[in-house]
Structure 1
Amino acid sequence: MDLYPYTVAEEFSCQVAYFSMEFAIDQALKTYSGGLGFLAGSHMRSANDRRQKLIGVGMLWSYGYYDQSRHEDNTLKIDYKRKFYYFLEDTSIKVEVTINSKPVTVKAYLLPATTFDTAPVIFLTTDCFENDHLSRTICHKLYDANEETRIAQEIVLGIGGVKVLEAMGVDVDVYHMNEGHSLPLVFELMKRYSNLENLKKYVVFTTHTPEMAGNEEHNVYLLFRMGFFNGFSVEDMQKKLDYYDEHFSLTVGALKTSKRANAVSKIHKSVANEMWQDVKGRCEIISITNAQNMRYWADKQLMSWMQEHEDYQLVGRKKHLKYRLFEEVADQTGKLFDPDILTIVWARRFAEYKRPGLLIYDMERFRELVSNRDRPVQIIWAGKPYPLDNRAVHMFNDLIMMSKEFKNVAILTGYELRLSRLLKQGSDLWLNTPRWGREASGTSGMTAGINASIHFSIDDGWHAEFQKDGVNSFTIPHSDPSLPNDEIDRLDYLTMMQKLENTIIPTYYENEKEWLMIAKNAMNDILAYFDSSRMADEYYEKLYF
């Protein structure tokens, strides 16, 4: 099967198989939930741009993550609708994996490289007529809440993915685990490389988060019963990995079976090495900072006008992009926003540590902010909470109820690729408020910044490597991370509001030339280092080789 429509560059001729539970490649392909998928999608685009010999391996989710809509009172409604993708090619390849002592058929579809200008991607599904109903449901929902279903999904991705590549005749040099979900692949490879040191030569691993929810653990005997270890007994696995904890961490397993691993920013490298310092026999954890594919995300006219045209043309294009975003705001909320007004956006996955509600920490001060007629602001929130994270869902709904009080505050639903791009191109200020040390990288600010939306962020993740406060961004210096969370939130809020009220808003309204200079500096700096072509090259240079 001819997978690559381009001539592979000589320096990237090592055949890599990139395993990821989610890929955000196009609005029409609902195989992602958030940042991990956005990152994987950009990696696939840049692998194509750089003519790399890389193939993605993911899952074809019959119902996606979920469809985000509204109840009659405007609060969040979670819908599941079956998806159909006529642009995927049936490879006619079927392999068998064992789950819970029962054979399950895995079918493979191909997203050709030419469809969306990406690396080729294989999508796996068990939702086919060869399987019984229970086996078909394995691939129904991304990040299914049932623990056994999640484990089954990981078996399909890891073991099924290796078998499909073999059936396709793809001679893989490096298996890249993008997070620990595909760890079962190493237990399939162990049948070929019984010596762990030999196995490690072919496996690398990317860890994306210090959050424990993103570093899955399961009872080791449950994993054995489900078939996670691919026929190896618990005792065999423990002896091979020198890992005897009854609570089996996928991240620890990946660190013990890879030749090298990477964190996704310089700060995250320090955090990850500290988190996993006691893991005996783990591989080295280096840093490869995340990036995004600007060919996909950047407005082409903004990019071309950044250097070659007068400032008024840049301003005119930005207003046009704001109009396009505000059409969506009006359609969803019935609120008419003004393109001449400073528009602040907070948009990303809804999680407590990201603090989506930090801006309304002091509600009276917030009312003063949004009611100021001399220096008005417009504020938009968007994002998807995990459907069973009740705290995050309540935060989202609380913001919706709060927004009913204001004509210039909107909460948008349907946060997927299309809306994300509208928000990044149509905003003036992109707000990022995680507790310091818990944002491994973050990438939404990169794709906002390339569209002249200035990044206003805690000095964490990628922002700490990028920021020149007042030159290409605005920074919120973090408070002492050893303090209790309530005190951290209070201090970070005060620092954020002081910068917003005393520097950012006055600059926007009183010094357009300086505002545009900051925006243009950011666009140049992001393009220079935070385009995913640099990241894709670094994976070959620092991880695969």
Structure 2
Amino acid sequence: MSDFKLGSFYPISEKYSKRVAYFSMEYAIHQPLKIYSGGLGFLAGSHLRSAYELSQNLVGIGILWKFGYYDQIRNQDQTMKADWSEKHYRFLQDTGIRYTIKIHEADVWVKVLYLAPEVFKTAPLFLLSTDLPENDYVSQTITHRLYDANEATKVAQYILLGVGGAKLLDLLNFDAAVYHLNEAHGLPAAFYLYQKLGTKEAVTEKLVFTTHTPEEAGNEKHSIYLCEKMTYFCGLSLDQVRALTGIQGDQFDHSLVALRFARLANGVSQLHGRVASEMWSHYPGTCKIISITNAQNWTYWADKQLYRYFNQGEDYLMDDRKYYLKKRAFELVADQTGKIFDPKVLTIVWARRFAGYKRADLLLQDEQRFLKLIENTCYPVQIIFAGKPYPMDYAAIGTFDRLVNESKKYKNVAVVVGYELTLSKRLKQAADIWLNNPRVPREASGTSGMTAAMNGAVNFSTHDGWIPEFINHGHNGFVVPPADYQHMQTHQQDEYDLNKLYEILEGQILPTYYDEYDTWRQILKNAMRDVRYQFDSNRMTHEYYELLY
């Protein structure tokens, strides 16, 4: 047995002394630790950083993905290629802890690695791995790829996170008062706790849940028989599971059951909290859903020089700093695409996970207007696209590749690969306009615009996620006025949003940037000020203790 002791990892604030275990499939903490895919991970990474800054009694539980999510590289024709290469981390500590859990009714060995708080200034993080010689090859592959496409492997990953994480807490004698599931992936922890504590009420007392998906279809469901076969329910019979969860059909809805097991849940923006409450209200036995708006860690993300000049009222130094940040970021664009961008030109960046509803190629849907925008010599623009689609989402990869091929026609349009933490920060520094145009109301929160504002970019967005809480149109950003989307068909919604995007871009944004730069700078400063405290994750992690725990 290992002699690893968690002990007191840093002085705990009295205000945040309640013991919390935070379960997440992914964490975007720092570029060298590649165990994240997108927004869920960016949120979890900021959460752990703020828990550290506020001295909270919280530990993170995650999985050490041997091949990460995937490396985004290019084919010969510049289109996207997904590549998986083994990752090595000398900064993680092998705790020596080894134990078994049941997956598919067989013993699977788990080893535990530890990210100590001082490495990246985070709350302690434990990462589980089944990549051990004691396991057969299939069991080893459980921790190979984040969000594996194979359904049985995916269910096994959930069991590892939930049951493996809960069992680890027992081995560490970390008696958590709260088990916080960041999305429903860690739900098997509830069945482990049920076997341990004996009643559903005792589990409910400890369990809270954050839901991130504002539509039923986006919440994962798997065959209840597959889940049983995989030992998801920790040895409970199907009859017991049905009685406990209220699931009567063949499909096991992870989010619904999480809402039935949890004491309290939260949506990740004010709008999403309302949408989620409405969405789940017709299911009996679900818990209350409150709103705690997502946020990002200011200490990690913000450009401190920009804020220093802002606080000193040094406008020209601010301009100079933004010019430098753009110039530096454009080196990366030139390196990848052979295109040299001009720091004086208004630069639009669209960069986030590629998914259909996020509409990466919306501006290109009106070819004539796009051409007019791109070829405008009076008000020139540059556009950069970036983001990683899910490696098996061929429609999203098709959109990415279409943008690559379109960009070859223009010297001022570029598509860059490798959208991870470092590139994300650089592109936010490159942006004058951070473009965000999801179909309303499908973006639960969306946090990329927060970190963009922390780096001197102005948000231009549809009225979704966190945006209604932030943007005051023309004052600290620009927003497409919401229409009666509920009574529109998808193509009508796309057409309306596209027209408004071009109207605002051509009629307000470009003239302000080029003809009234003092006004533009003021908008940028207002955004930097407004995002600073309201959307810093220190506010968010405080609210988790106050409102959820």
In which range does the TM-score fall when normalised by the shorter chain?
Answer: over 0.9
Aligned to 1:488: 493
**How far did residue 236 of structure 1 move?**
0.6
- Tell me if 1:540 matches 2:542: no
Deviates more, 1:214-223 or 1:440-449: 214-223
- Tell me if 1:240 matches 2:265: no
Distance in 1 of aligned mates of 2:451 and 2:233: 39
**How far did residue 57 of structure 1 move?**
0.3
**Contact 1:3 1:113 survives alignment (8 Å):** no
Distance in 1 of aligned mates of 2:186 and 2:128: 12
- Tell me if 1:508 matches 2:510: no
- Aligned residue runs from structure 1 range 145-160, under 5 A: 145-160=149-164
Deviates more, 1:364-373 or 1:474-483: 474-483
**How far did residue 243 of structure 1 move?**
2.8
Aligned to 1:497: 502
Distance in 2 of aligned mates of 1:488 and 1:173: 45
Query: CA-to-partner distance for each residue in 1:238-262, whole Å, 9 max, x for gaps?
Result: 1122332321100011001100000
- Tell me if 1:47 matches 2:51: yes
Query: CA-to-partner distance for each residue in 1:28-69, whole Å, 9 max, x for gaps?
Result: 001000000000000000000111000000000000000001
- Tell me if 1:339 matches 2:356: no
**How far did residue 212 of structure 1 move?**
4.4
**Contact 1:4 1:113 survives alignment (8 Å):** no
**Contact 1:260 1:285 survives alignment (8 Å):** yes
Query: CA-to-partner distance for each residue in 1:352-395, whole Å, 9 max, x for gaps?
Result: 10011111111121111011111100000000001111100000
**Contact 1:4 1:120 survives alignment (8 Å):** no
Cα 1:195–1:5 change in 2 (3 A) is closer
Report the TM-score, using the length of structure 2 for normalisation: 0.98
Distance in 2 of aligned mates of 1:7 and 1:324: 39
**Contact 2:67 2:86 survives alignment (8 Å):** yes
**How far did residue 213 of structure 1 move?**
5.5
Distance in 2 of aligned mates of 1:514 and 1:447: 22
- Tell me if 1:135 matches 2:139: yes
Q: Secondary structure at 2:391's aligned position in 1?
A: coil
Aligned to 2:222: 218
Among residues 291, 301, 305, which one is paired with 1:301 in the alignment? Answer: 305
Among residues 448, 455, 467, which one is paired with 1:451 in the alignment? Answer: 455
Distance in 2 of aligned mates of 1:531 and 1:370: 35
Q: Secondary structure at 1:68's aligned position in 2?
A: strand
- Backbone CA RMSD of aligned residues: 0.9
Distance in 1 of aligned mates of 2:229 and 2:348: 50
- Tell me if 1:144 matches 2:148: yes
**Contact 2:215 2:279 survives alignment (8 Å):** no
**How far did residue 5 of structure 1 move?**
4.1
Distance in 2 of aligned mates of 1:6 and 1:243: 42
Aligned residues: 544
Among residues 365, 372, 383, which one is paired with 1:368 in the alignment? Answer: 372
Distance in 1 of aligned mates of 2:249 and 2:29: 37
**How far did residue 526 of structure 1 move?**
0.5
Cα 1:126–1:173 change in 2 (3 A) is same
AA aligned to 1:500 is: L
Aligned to 1:275: 279
AA aligned to 2:232 is: F
- Tell me if 1:90 matches 2:90: no
**Contact 2:216 2:279 survives alignment (8 Å):** no
- Tell me if 1:197 matches 2:192: no
**How far did residue 76 of structure 1 move?**
0.2
Among residues 396, 412, 416, which one is paired with 1:412 in the alignment? Answer: 416
Aligned to 1:208: 212
AA aligned to 1:300 is: K
Query: CA-to-partner distance for each residue in 1:290-314, whole Å, 9 max, x for gaps?
Result: 0000100001101111120421100
**Contact 1:3 1:120 survives alignment (8 Å):** no
Distance in 1 of aligned mates of 2:323 and 2:216: 41
Q: Secondary structure at 1:414's aligned position in 2?
A: coil
Aligned to 1:435: 439
Deviates more, 1:431-440 or 1:95-104: 95-104
Aligned to 2:388: 384
**How far did residue 498 of structure 1 move?**
0.1
AA aligned to 2:273 is: K
Aligned to 1:422: 426
Q: Secondary structure at 2:546's aligned position in 1?
A: helix
Aligned to 1:252: 256
Q: Secondary structure at 2:343's aligned position in 1?
A: coil
**How far did residue 2 of structure 1 move?**
3.8
Q: Secondary structure at 1:248's aligned position in 2?
A: strand
**Contact 1:459 1:478 survives alignment (8 Å):** yes
AA aligned to 1:179 is: E
Query: CA-to-partner distance for each residue in 1:473-497, whole Å, 9 max, x for gaps?
Result: 1011133222110110001100110
**Contact 1:63 1:82 survives alignment (8 Å):** yes
- Tell me if 1:166 matches 2:170: yes
Aligned to 1:531: 536
Q: Secondary structure at 1:17's aligned position in 2?
A: strand
Query: CA-to-partner distance for each residue in 1:83-111, whole Å, 9 max, x for gaps?
Result: 01111001111121111111101111000
**How far did residue 222 of structure 1 move?**
1.0
Q: Percent identity?
A: 51
Among residues 357, 360, 376, which one is paired with 1:356 in the alignment? Answer: 360
**Contact 2:6 2:172 survives alignment (8 Å):** no
Q: Secondary structure at 1:210's aligned position in 2?
A: coil
**Contact 1:21 1:59 survives alignment (8 Å):** yes
Aligned to 1:519: 524
Aligned to 2:295: 291
**How far did residue 214 of structure 1 move?**
3.8
**How far did residue 4 of structure 1 move?**
4.6
Distance in 2 of aligned mates of 1:5 and 1:517: 43
**Contact 2:9 2:124 survives alignment (8 Å):** no
Distance in 2 of aligned mates of 1:194 and 1:2: 27
- Segments of structure 2 that go 5 or more residues without pairing to the other structure are none
**Contact 1:94 1:164 survives alignment (8 Å):** no
Cα 1:309–1:420 change in 2 (3 A) is same
- Segments of structure 1 that go 5 or more residues without pairing to the other structure are none
Distance in 1 of aligned mates of 2:430 and 2:50: 24
**Contact 1:262 1:269 survives alignment (8 Å):** yes
Aligned to 1:460: 464
**Contact 1:3 1:112 survives alignment (8 Å):** no
Report the TM-score, using the length of structure 1 for normalisation: 0.99
Q: Secondary structure at 2:197's aligned position in 1?
A: coil
Deviates more, 1:270-279 or 1:447-456: 270-279
**How far did residue 6 of structure 1 move?**
2.5
Distance in 1 of aligned mates of 2:423 and 2:64: 22
Distance in 2 of aligned mates of 1:189 and 1:245: 24
**How far did residue 170 of structure 1 move?**
1.2
Query: CA-to-partner distance for each residue in 1:262-310, whole Å, 9 max, x for gaps?
Result: 0001110111112111221111000000000010000110111112042
**Contact 1:441 1:460 survives alignment (8 Å):** yes
AA aligned to 1:365 is: R
Query: CA-to-partner distance for each residue in 1:445-479, whole Å, 9 max, x for gaps?
Result: 00001111000001111011111000011011133
